[in-house]
Structure 1
Amino acid sequence: MPDIAAQLAQLPHLRREISQLTADIERLRDAIPYATDVVKASAREYPYTEGCVTVSGIDLTATEARRYSLEISHKLSERSIRRDQLLDLADSLEREINKLPDSRHRQVLRLRYIEGLTIEETAGQMGYSARQVDRLQKEAIQSCRGMSC
């Protein structure tokens, strides 16, 4: 199992990758060729009045369009699976941070790794010196190791 410090250092990058994958998923969904048409239809029950219904779905009329749709669907599936894995990992790391008994340790790890702040920015938020934040961060990571985070 990787070192907790290395895992925590990955957290801001995981969040960024999750955002990129989410944007990619939306872009791929928009690229799927859809067809829409308006057709005449009647009500399912008596008095069977006639009306119009809009029907839409994936356009699979051309072989090339079908292959393109399958390609996009495959990429979409891969990215969705990867995003879900990253979300689980990031959530797991956040739960471990929340288990720490010391509030200062939780704060410093949350600000540093979840919020992605620098040591100086974290010090400003917490009202400590950068040196104190560095010491607290090391203590928090040691505390995580002791809890088998």
Structure 2
Amino acid sequence: MANPRAAAVILLIMSLFMVVAISRAAAARPTEGPNKTTALHHDAHGQDAASPEMSEPKPTCDDDKCEPEPEPPTCDDHCEEPKPEPKPEPEPEPKSELTCNKVHGVQEGETCYCLAQGVGLTLDNFLSFNPNICCDNLFIGQWVCLDATSGC
């Protein structure tokens, strides 16, 4: 029976020989200039033969025939977002000042609605008299206006 280690060593050595042979073949290949290509064709005896063919030289930026490619635009150059033009603020309409004629301290269990109904106001009127009141957070002792008159 064959020794598996010996077989592995032989395969490794053969692989190394193949790598060396391939690299030597690549090094021995003739190098053409940058603008030449090598084409394979058959000679008169049917053998493959390589012949250099001249290709059209590509212009480089060192030649006078070529202009350097423009760089792509950057956001610093032209991509600034336009700033909105300021709109003139409309002048506020003069508000009539309210003068509170009757105040009330909120008692336990009272709501905005029941306070408004108690003095004959709609909820909208009550809230217009008390613009800073939050009906969800009424607290005992908070002062509310139940009657107001306009200063105008």
Higher relative contact order (Cα pairs below 8 Å, separated by 6+ residues): 1
Which structure features the higher share of strand residues?
Answer: 2
TM exceeds 0.5?
Answer: no
Superposition TM-score, scaled by structure 1 size: 0.25
Superposition TM-score, scaled by structure 2 size: 0.24
Which structure features the higher share of helix residues?
Answer: 1
